Amino acid sequence: MLFRWSRPVMQRHAMNFEHQIDRPNPQSMTACALVAEVASGRISALDVAEATIAAIAESEPDVQAFAYFDADLLRAQAVAVDAGESLGKLAGVTVGVKDVIATFDMPTSHNTKRYEGVMTGVDAACVDTLRAAGALIVGKTVTTEFAAGQRGGKTRNPHDLTRTPGGSSSGSAAAVAAGMCAVALGTQTGGSTIRPASFNGIFGWKPTWNAISREGLKVYSLTCDTLGLYAREIGDLQLLADVFDLDPSPEPQSLEGLRIALCRTPVWEATEPSMRDAMARGATYLRGQGAQVVELELPSIFNDLHAAHTIILAREGRSAFLNEVRRCPELHDQFHDMVGNARQITPDQARWAYAHADSCRAAFDEIAQGFDAVMTPSACGEAPVGLAFTGDATMNSLWTLLQVPVVSAPGLTGPNGMPLGLSFVTRRYADRTALVIAGLAAQAILEG
Amino acid sequence: MLFRWSRPVMQRHAMNFEHQIDRPNPQSMTACALVAEVASGRISALDVAEATIAAIAESEPDVQAFAYFDADLLRAQAVAVDAGESLGKLAGVTVGVKDVIATFDMPTSHNTKRYEGVMTGVDAACVDTLRAAGALIVGKTVTTEFAAGQRGGKTRNPHDLTRTPGGSSSGSAAAVAAGMCAVALGTQTGGSTIRPASFNGIFGWKPTWNAISREGLKVYSLTCDTLGLYAREIGDLQLLADVFDLDPSPEPQSLEGLRIALCRTPVWEATEPSMRDAMARGATYLRGQGAQVVELELPSIFNDLHAAHTIILAREGRSAFLNEVRRCPELHDQFHDMVGNARQITPDQARWAYAHADSCRAAFDEIAQGFDAVMTPSACGEAPVGLAFTGDATMNSLWTLLQVPVVSAPGLTGPNGMPLGLSFVTRRYADRTALVIAGLAAQAILEG
C-alpha cells in the first residue's frame, strides 16, 4: 500500500500527481503506512510534514481545499511528535480538519465573515484525541457556511476541476482525494460527509450518532450533526475507529455468505441513471464474491422520514443560529429564515417529527438485524458541474436521522468518468461491521 | 418588585443582606426591574456593575459562588452598554455563567486542572445571545468537575452556610439566591439545574431540550444536557424566554380551573418526608386558588426510565470524556470508569435505553395533553449538610431524559427552615405555560 495513490483516485486523477519515487514518499501514504514507516524509523514525522507541504504546494492552486494552512505550524507539530517520549497510535498521520471544527492553534472560520481569523483557544474533542495519539493537523479545510448554508466554497473536485467536490465537507474530501492529507474530518447533518466521499472517490464514514464526541463542532442540528471521517483506504478508518474506541462488532473476513440488503429507499426517484447502474453493478460484484444480495423495501413509515428530517433541521437550526443572526444582520437570508421560522414549523410538527424519527430508528434496529449490512446509494449521481451547488443530500438524510453508521465505498464511476460511492449501513454501534464490509465491497469492485 | 429580595430569599436568608436603601439599589433588583430602571435612565449599567461589585465583596467570602470574577471587566461591559446606540432587551441585567459555559473574555475552567485559566476565544451561543441583548456577564460560577463529576466546589448555600447549594450548577444558584447577580446560567444532565433551584429557594428553568442552543456548553450527554436558567422572580425567566425566542404556548392568567397533575413518579420512595409534605401543601395551595389537582400515576413503562437514563449517561459519557482521559491520566476515577466502560454497557443495552426513552417521550406528549401542567418534586428534600455531596438527582433525571420543560417554583420550606421547590412540567415546547404556572404557584404559596 505504500508509495501510491489508492487505485480509485489514481485511475481518475485529473492532475499529474505521479511522483518519481526513489525513497519512501510520505505524501502518498495512507495513515496505516505512515504509522508503520514512522514507527520503524524509516521516516520521521518531519519528513511527513515536508512531503505534505510539497504536495499542498503542488495541488492546492488547483484544488483549493484549504481555508487555512501554515507550513511552519505543521513542521512544529511534526518536530514535537518526533521529540516525544513515545509514539502514539497515529504518530505522523496527516489530518485535514473541516473549518467548523475547533482547533486551538488555527482559526475556525466557518466560511463566514464574523469568524474570519477567530481562534477558539481549545481543540474540538475529536481533534484533541487525534493529537493525543500523535496526529499532525495539516490545516483547516473549506466548508459551506456553518456547514449549513448554501454559500459554498472555492474547492474543486480533484477528479475534474470544473465540478464540485460536494459539500459541506468540500475541502476535507478533496484534500484526501488529492493526497494533501492521509485522512480528514468532516461533519454530516444531511449528507455532508457521505456525498463528498462519493463525489471524490474515497472512503467516507459517518459513525453512529454520538459514538465520537461532537464537542467543538459547530452545532446545526443536535439530532443529526455527526462527525465524518475520510480516507483513501478502509484500514485508515479502522485505525481511527480504534483510536476513538468504537464498540466491537462482527468483522467478517470475506463477503462469502454475507446477507446484504439492497435498499433503494423511499427517495429512489431522486437517483440518476448512473447511480441506479452503480447499485446494480455493486450488487453483481458482491454476488460475485459469494454475498447474498436481497432487496429490502423499507416499511411505509419510512416514507415520511425525509419530511421529518426537514422539520427537525428547521426547528433545530432556529435555535442554533439565533445568536449568529442577532450578531450578524447581514448573514445569508437562509439563516434569517431559519431563525425567523419562515417554514412556520409548529410545536406539534416538531413533536411529530421527533416521535416519527424515534419510531423509525427502533424499527430499523429490528430490520437491520436481518442483514450483515444494507447497501444504498451514497449520492444521487456523479458530482455536478460547477461549484455553486454542492449536490443533493436526498439519499443521505434518512440515514443521518436514523443515527446509524454509514460507510461509503469508492471504486465505481459514471458516464463522465466521475466517482460513484455505495453506502454500507448497519444498526447503531455496529460501525466496525459497516467499515469491514465497505472495505470488502470496494475490493470486490476493484477486482471487478 | 424593586429594591428588594424576592420574598422566599428574604424570609430564609442566612446573612445580613438588608441594605439601607435611599436610592435605587440595583444590586437587589430583578432582571425586569434592572431593565426598566436602566431604560428609564434612573440608573446606568455602570451603577448596576458597581452595586454588583459591592454585593460580591460582601457576600462572596461566605457564599463562594464564583470561580472567576473581575470587577474591571464587569465595569468595562457596563460602560460599553451605556455607550451603545440603543439599549437591548437585557440592558444592565447581571448574569452569572456556570464555569462549563464558554465566555470569550473569561476563562472556562470546568473545575478541573487541565482547564485552569484556559480561554475559549468565543462565547457559548447562549452567552452571545445574552450579550447581544445588553446583558452584563458578571463572572464564572462554581460547578462540579465538568458538570459531571463527584468533585464538588467550594460554594455554600446562602440559606445555611453549612449546607450544599446543590450541584452541579452550585455557584449559579447560590449567586442568584445571594443577590450577586439577577439571573444565572446553569446546565442540567441529571438534576443539576432544578435541584439547586430547590435548595436555594429560587426559580429554576430547564427548557425543552435544544430549544435554546447548547453550543459552547461542555458536553456530557447530548441526549440530556440542557441549558438551565435561574432567577428570583418568574418574570425574569419569562424575559429570558422572550430573548431566546421560545415558542408561544398557553399562558393562563390564574390557577382557577387549571388541571394540575400531581405526579409522584416511579421514584417517589427517594423523597424525604419534608418533600412529601411540601407536595401535599403545594396541592392544597393550588386547590385554594381554584386549580383542580388530580393524581397522575405514570404508566409502567416509565418505571424503567431511570435505568435508561443511567445507561445513556454511561454510554454518552464514554465518548464525551475520551479526550480528557487520554490527556489527563490523573483525572478522577469516575471519568476513567466512564471512558473505560466500567459499567460494561453493551450496544444492545444502549439501543434499548434510547428506544425506551423515545417511547416514554411520545407517551408523555400524549399524557401531558390531559393537564395544564404536571407538579412533581424538585428534589428529594432539603439541601443536605456539608459540601462534599451536592444532593440526589433522582427526582429530576426522568424529566431530563423526557426532554420536557421543567420550572421549579420556590416558597416552601422544610423542618430545618431550608427551601423546597416544586417542579412544574409540560410537554415539549410549552415552556411558557410551565413558566407562568410555576409563577402562579409560587404566588399561591406565598399567599398561603
Which chain A residue has its CA at the smallest distance from B219's CA? Answer: A215
| Catalytic residue chosen out of the listed positions B98, B140, B206, B218 | B98
Cell numbers 434569517: residue:
A336
DSSP annotation of B382: S
Which residue in the set A123, A210, A347 is minimally distant from B429, CB to CB? Answer: A347
Within a domain: B394:
yes
| Interface residue of B128, B214, B323, B358 to substitute, partner A, most A CBs within 10 Å | B323
Q: Which residues of chain B fall short of a pLDDT of 50? A: 1-21
Chain B contacts of A247, Cβ < 8 Å? 347
β-bridge mates for residue B232, sequence order: none
Residues in chain B with CB shorter than 8 Å from the CB of A215 are 218-219, 320
**Is there a single domain that holds both residue B205 and residue B297?**
no
* Domain match, B239 and B264 both: no
- The answer to whether residues B281 and B158 belong to one domain is no
Q: Which residue has the cell 452550585?
A: B170
Per CB-CB distance under 8 Å, the chain A contacts of B430 are 347
φ, ψ for residue A274 (rounded to 5)? -60, -40
Confidence of residue A23 (pLDDT cuts 50, 70, 90): low
Q: Is A113 a catalytic residue?
A: no
Residue B334 included in any domain: no
Distance from B395 to chain A by nearest Cα, in Å?
24
pLDDT in tens, A253-296: 999 999 999 999 999 999 999 999 999 999 999 999 999 999 99
What's the DSSP call for residue A157? B
Query: Which chain B residue is nearest to residue A117, measuring alpha carbons?
Result: B121
pLDDT of residue A6: 33
Is the residue at B163 inside a domain? yes
Three-state DSSP state, B236: helix
Alpha helices, DSSP H, located in B201-264: 234-243
| Nearest CA-CA distance, residue B56 and chain A, Å | 29
3-state SS string for B92-140: CCEEEEECCECCCCCCCCCCCHHHCCCCCCCCCHHHHHHHHCCCEEEEE
Per-residue pLDDT, averaged over A227-244, amounts to: 98
State which H helix or E strand residue A373 sits in.
strand A373-377
Interface contact flag, A129 B323, Cβ < 8 Å: yes
Mutate: best of A116, A318, A326, partner B, most B CBs <10 A:
A326
Q: Å from A221 to nearest chain B CA? A: 9
A107-141: pLDDT as tens digits: 999 999 999 999 999 999 999 999 999 999 999 99
pLDDT tens, residue by residue, B361-420: 999 999 999 999 999 999 999 999 999 999 999 999 999 999 999 999 999 999 999 999
> Residue type for B353, please?
A
Residue B2 is assigned to a structural domain of this protein: no
With contacts defined as CB-CB under 8 Å, which chain B residues touch A101?
none
- Cβ atoms of B221 and B316 within 8 Å: the answer is yes
Angle at B217 between CA B211 and CA B222, to 5 degrees: 65
Q: What are phi and psi of B294, to 5 degrees?
A: -125, 145
Which residue bears the cell 393524581? B295
Read off the pLDDT band of A25 (50, 70, 90): confident
Question: Mind listing the pLDDT tens digit for each residue in B9-49?
Answer: 333 333 344 444 455 788 889 999 999 999 999 999 999 99
β-strand partners of A376? A423
| Spatial CB neighbours of A98, under 8 Å, sequence gap ≥ 6 | A140, A141, A143, A147, A168, A169, A171, A172, A184, A185, A186, A187
Would you call B168 a catalytic residue per the annotation? yes
- From CA A86, how far away is CA A400, in angstroms rounded? 38
H or E element, residue B62 = helix B45-63
Determine which one of A6, A28, A59, A98 is catalytic. A98
On chain A, the residues whose CB falls within 8 A of the CB of B351 are: 365, 427-429
CA dihedral (A35, A36, A38, A39) in degrees, to 10, reads 100
Q: What is the CA radius of gyration of chain A?
A: 20
> Residue for cell digits 431604560?
B39
Query: How many other β-carbons are positioned within 10 Å of the β-carbon of residue A288?
Result: 13
Q: Do A361 and B358 touch (CB under 8 A)?
A: yes
| Residue B97, in any domain of the structure | yes
Measured between CA atoms, how close is A120 to chain B, in angstroms?
5
Among the partner residues B115, B121, B319, nearest to A211 by beta-carbon distance: B319
Which residue from B427, B407, B99, B400 is spatially nearest to B225, judged by alpha carbons?
B400
Is there a cis peptide before residue A168, judged by omega within 30 degrees of 0?
Answer: yes
Tell whether B63 and B189 lie within a shared domain: yes
Helix, strand and coil in chain A, % to nearest 5: 45, 15, 40
User: Which residues, including other chains, have CB under 8 Å from residue A397's CB and lie 6 or more apart?
Assistant: A190, A191, A224, A306, A309
Helix (H) or strand (E) holding A419: strand A419-425
Query: Do residue B46 and residue B158 come from a single domain?
Result: yes
Contact B323 A213 (CB under 8 A): yes
Q: Say how many CB pairs under 8 Å bridge A and B.
A: 132
**Chain segment A362-381, per-residue pLDDT in tens:** 999 999 999 999 999 999 99
Cα–Cα–Cα angle for A362, A368, A374, nearest 5°? Answer: 130
* Closest residue of chain B to A327, computed from CA coordinates: B132
Counting Cα atoms < 13 Å in the Cβ hemisphere of A145 gives: 16
- Residues B200, B158: contact at Cβ < 8 Å? yes
Rounded to whole angstroms, how far apart are CA atoms B240 and B257?
A: 27
Task: Write down the pLDDT at residue B23.
Answer: 57
Given the residues B28, B168, B249, B423, select the one marked as catalytic: B168
Give B247's contacts in chain A (Cβ within 8 Å): 347
Residue A111 CA to residue A115 CA, distance in Å, equals 8
Pair B226, B201 in one domain = yes
pLDDT category of residue A149 using cuts at 50, 70 and 90: confident
| Nearest-10 Cα torsion for A325, A326, A331, A332 | 40
Catalytic residue among B192, B198, B397, B423: B192
- Taking CA atoms, A27 is separated from A21, A74, A176, in Å, by 11, 14, 11
Task: Give yes or no: residues B272 and B188 share one domain.
Answer: no
State whether A120 and B120 contact (CB < 8 Å).
yes
Contacts of B126 in chain A (CB under 8 A): 323
Neighbours of B310 (CB within 10 A): 16
Which one of B210, B323, B354 has the shortest CB-CB distance to A316? B210
Name the closest residue on chain A to residue B88, using Cα atoms. Answer: A326
Per the CB < 8 A criterion, the answer to whether B199 and B383 are in contact is: yes
HSE of A380, CA atoms in CB hemisphere, 13 A = 15
Residues with Cβ within 8 Å of residue A149, at least 6 apart in sequence: A111, A112, A332, A334, A335
d(CA B122, CA B104): 4
Main-chain dihedrals φ then ψ at residue B160, nearest 5 degrees: -165, 105
Residue B156 to chain A, least CA–CA distance (Å)? 31
Shortest distance between the Cα of A280 and any Cα of chain B, in A, equals: 32
List the beta strands (DSSP E) in B116-234.
136-141, 183-188, 203-206, 226-231
Interatomic CA distance for residues A195 and A271, integer angstroms: 13
Domain's final residue, options B243, B269, B291? B243
Q: Is A98 a catalytic residue?
A: yes
Catalytic residue among A28, A109, A168, A423: A168
Say which residue the cell 430547590 belongs to: B198
Count up the domains in chain B and report the number: 2
CB B192 within 8 A of CB B370: no
- Taking alpha carbons only, the member of A380, A371, A370, A435 closest to residue A409 is A435
CA distance linking residue A29 with residue A232, whole number of Å:
9
Question: Which residue in A121, A128, A213 is closest to B219 by CB distance?
Answer: A213
Domain of B267?
Answer: 259-304+346-413+422-447
Alpha-carbon gap, residue A412 to A423, rounded angstroms: 12
Q: CATH code at A334?
A: 3.90.1300.10
CB contact under 8 A, A326 and B132: yes
3-class DSSP state of A444 = helix
Q: What CA–CA distance (Å, rounded) separates A297 from B448?
A: 62
Q: Which of A122, A213, A218 sits opposite B118 (nearest CB)?
A: A122
ipTM: 0.94
Q: Are residues B271 and B224 in the same domain?
A: no
- The residue of chain A nearest to residue B351, with distances taken between CA atoms, is A428
Answer yes or no: are the C-beta atoms of B63 and B178 closer than 8 Å: yes
DSSP assignment, residue A266?
A: T
Structural domain contains residue B336: no
Q: Tell me the C-alpha distance between B435 and B425, whole Å.
A: 9
Q: Which of B100, B319, B335, B349 to mutate against chain A (most A CBs within 10 Å)?
A: B319
Mean pLDDT estimate for chain A: 94
Alpha carbons B155 and B73: distance in angstroms, whole number: 22
Residue A214 is which amino acid? R
Q: Which amino acid is at A179?
A: G
> What is the model's pLDDT at position B318?
98
If 0-12 CB within 10 Å is exposed, 13-18 middle and 19+ buried, where does residue B51 land?
A: buried
Residues in B touching A320 (Cβ below 8 Å): 125, 213, 215
- pLDDT the model gives residue A404: 98
The answer to whether the beta carbons of residues B130 and B97 sit under 8 Å apart is no
Are both B358 and B223 inside the same structural domain? Answer: no
Angular region, B417: left φ>0, alpha ψ -120 to 50, beta rest: left
Q: Do B125 and A219 touch (CB under 8 A)?
A: yes
